[in-house]
Structure 1
């Protein structure tokens, strides 16, 4: 399998696992969507579990790169950076009719408690994201954009944990109302 085929497999895996989860992932259907022969799949991925872990890691890296770009590398004021993340995430959620939340959250809820390998990959993703948000909130506190009532590390944990719960609730409801409430409460909580 060429490098672009592996990338296509991982990208297709993100879409399928985000929508269907691990237990409902049919490899035959996936292979047809990704246009990958099954022999190539098993050459690069030892098992369905190995595939899910690699997709999870790929997704986590993509999200970390997105958060880094929007929150740490932007020249916009800190409040505007966070507003951009909220708005772009809402657009993505609306484009999928709230059927895709966060793949890490989906797989964590579904199998991480039963699968130590997947659990470690999921936790690694959360830690990467938490580090980005902690740095972002700390910078915002230093320049007066955000409240100093909470430690930046606590704000990062609260933000990401709340976001995951909201994504699950939003998928259950099929609408983005809970995400909009999360955005409103989070914005008010961190303002200086």
Structure 2
């Protein structure tokens, strides 16, 4: 009779394996490296994940849940004007990348480029994350429009999509250049142009 799955072991596999996938890439990280980093036997990986692809979906879920928990409350802070909340939100994300010395990039963007050509389940998960990300920004932008901060002629959903696209592009270029410069451009030019 197989031993029941241990939630601590699963959590360790996701944490240690997620760190490896973030820094080395999904395809360059094997199950052996993931289990070694987590300190568990290689065979036990499949007690927790049906496949490496299923593991990738769970790593993305953990990553996005962490982003929501850390930065989501900024957008929901109704004591601050909506556009100021959006600026603070992106500033927080920039600080996250700065702490990592711009070297790692965004797991969402990295997986979108590396894994979606070969994995439909990862593509579906990423599409859901992008929709959720844009929806939270759209809600804040609608509030900005109701308070006459965002011009009436701007479509909040289109602005939200453009913000996500532009920010993810800045993350990718910052990773390549190991520089804050793309974020300065996003914060100084792109964000103001989209919301005024």
Do the two structures share a fold, i.e. TM-score over 0.5?
Answer: yes
Q: 1:147 to 1:2 in 2, by over 3 A?
A: farther
Q: 1:76 to 1:5 in 2, by over 3 A?
A: farther
Counterpart of 1:156? 160
Equivalences, count? 192
Q: CA deviation at 1:97?
A: 1.2
Name the SS of the counterpart of 2:104 in structure 1: coil
Pick aligned residue for 2:183 from 179, 182, 187? 179
Q: CA deviation at 1:79?
A: 3.0
Q: Runs in 1 of length 4+ with deviation above 4 angstroms?
A: none
Pick aligned residue for 2:8 from 4, 12, 25? 4
TM-score by length of 2: 0.87
TM-score by length of 1: 0.89
**2:48 corresponds to 1:44:** yes
What is the root-mean-square deviation in Å for CA atoms of aligned residues?
A: 1.9
Alignment of 1:72-111 (within 5 A): 72-111=76-115
Q: CA deviation at 1:74?
A: 4.7
Counterpart of 2:22? 18
List gaps (5 residues or longer) in structure 2: none
**2:133 corresponds to 1:129:** yes
Residues 132-179 of structure 1: per-residue CA shift (max 9 Å, x gap): 111011111111233334200001100111111111111111112111
List gaps (5 residues or longer) in structure 1: none
Q: 1:132 to 1:66 in 2, by over 3 A?
A: farther
Q: 1:147 to 1:66 in 2, by over 3 A?
A: farther
